[in-house]
Amino acid sequence: MQNLIKLLLTGLTMSLSANTETITLGAGCFWCVEAVYHKLDGVQSAVSGYMGGHVDNPTYEQVCGKKSGHIEVVQVKYDSEKVSTEEILAWFWKLHDPTTKDRQGNDEGPQYASAIFYHSPEQQRIAQASLEAAQPDFAAPIVTYVREAETFYPAEDYHQNYYELNKSRNPYCRYVIAPKMKKLNLDK
Catalytic positions, please?
Answer: 29
Are the C-beta atoms of 150 and 51 separated by less than 8 Å? yes
End-to-end CA distance of the chain: 46
Are the C-beta atoms of 159 and 30 separated by less than 8 Å? yes
Are the C-beta atoms of 50 and 155 separated by less than 8 Å? yes
- CA distances in angstroms from 112 to 32, 123, 145, listed in the order given: 11, 22, 12
The span from the CA of 177 to the CA of 93, in Å, is: 16
Angle at 48 between CA 96 and CA 152, to 5 degrees: 110
What is the DSSP annotation of 73-93? EEEEEEETTTS-HHHHHHHHH
Provide the 10 A C-beta neighbour count for residue 37. Answer: 24
